[in-house]
């Protein structure tokens, strides 16, 4: 099983949480086979289906059952690579369907209202304006924003170096508006927040430490309440992607900007209903990213 873990980590570069999920499902398959005196390496389609049925009794949603299906399929792909067997029985079993929840997207006007209510007269407020402007302008994940260091900024070149899932790096263009607020934050706010010249974190809290995910969410919730806009912090990333697509950007470019390894993940933004699109977007992404 450790070789399978190495395959998940090194070959397909899954996140640690996904690796643990896949390993857990592989062990469940192994336990299923032990109870029935079966060899997991030689299971046939009908036996795999029976295993999935037993897992369905434990897994509460179609989504988690779909993850189980994907995990076991990866296990048999691994066995094929190892030369243990020549086929993948999961290729003949459809992935369980589940209702897909479309991302919550903000209209351009709502993004402007959110950012516009931030009190930039304080160091923390100026930081938040730069932070949320950057998340929207670059379509960052919250974790990516948390991990940013000053060395990730290339303001003269107008790009940001982002470390995404699986430690994959990508360069994302910086819009003029984002550059303006980042420069303003670095010049006027960050020096007052920093308690050490050695702290490389880009965004700092009031104690001079790296701003945490929890801190970002808490501050954003306050801003939403003040602006009257309903949304979650990840809505800025969703809005970035959808505003670009509605403006005419091609799907492959948006995939690269978001750091999606699978274009299918990006395609969800093309499936929003026409009513949602009409409400949310009338123009191209306003910051020229």
Please list the active-site residues. 141, 165, 234, 237, 260, 269
Rg of the Cα atoms in the chain: 23
Structure tokens given for 228: 């009257």
User: By CB neighbour count within 10 A (0-12 exposed, 13-18 middle, 19+ buried), where does 244 fall?
Assistant: buried
- Residue 171: strand, helix, or coil: strand
Chain Cα centroid distance, residue 156:
27
Nearest Cα residue to 100 out of 60, 53, 54, 61:
61
Q: How far apart are CA 116 and CA 227, in angstroms?
A: 8
21: CB partners within 8 A, 6+ apart:
67, 71
Cβ atoms of 117 and 225 closer than 8 Å = no
Beta-bridge partners for 162: 170
Q: HSE of 264 in the Cβ direction (CA atoms, 13 Å)?
A: 2
- Residue 266: strand, helix, or coil: helix
Structure tokens given for 278: 């009409």
Nearest Cα residue to 92 out of 67, 65, 72, 63:
72
Cβ atoms of 223 and 128 closer than 8 Å = yes
Q: How far apart are CA 81 and CA 145, in angstroms?
A: 37
């Amino acid at each position: 099983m450790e070789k399978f873990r190495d395959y998940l980590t090194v070959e397909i570069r899954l996140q640690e949480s996904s690796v643990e999920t896949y390993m857990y499902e592989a062990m469940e398959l192994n336990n299923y086979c032990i109870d029935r005196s079966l060899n997991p390496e030689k299971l046939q389609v009908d036996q795999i289906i029976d295993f999935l049925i037993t897992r369905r009794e434990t897994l509460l949603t179609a989504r988690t059952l779909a993850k189980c299906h994907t995990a076991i399929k990866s296990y048999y792909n691994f066995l094929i690579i190892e030369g243990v067997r020549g086929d993948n029985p999961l290729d003949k079993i459809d992935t369980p369907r589940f209702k897909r929840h479309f991302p919550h997207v903000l209209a351009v006007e709502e993004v402007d209202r959110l950012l516009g209510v931030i009190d930039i007269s304080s160091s923390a407020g100026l930081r938040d304006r730069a932070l949320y402007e950057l998340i929207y302008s670059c379509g960052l994940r919250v974790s990516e924003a948390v991990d940013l260091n000053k060395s990730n900024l290339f303001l003269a070149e107008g790009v940001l170096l982002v470390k995404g899932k699986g430690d994959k790096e990508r360069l994302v263009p910086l819009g003029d508006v984002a550059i303006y607020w980042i420069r303003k934050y670095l010049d006027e706010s960050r020096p007052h927040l920093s308690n050490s010249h050695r702290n490389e974190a880009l965004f700092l809290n009031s104690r001079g430490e790296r701003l945490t995910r929890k801190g970002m969410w808490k501050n954003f919730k306050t801003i939403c309440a003040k602006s009257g806009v309903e949304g979650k912090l990840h809505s800025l990333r969703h809005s970035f992607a959808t505003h670009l697509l509605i403006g005419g950007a091609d799907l492959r470019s948006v995939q690269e900007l978001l750091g999606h390894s699978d274009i299918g993940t990006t395609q969800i933004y093309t499936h929003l209903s026409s009513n949602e699109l009409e409400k949310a977007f009338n123009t191209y992404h306003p910051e020229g990213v």
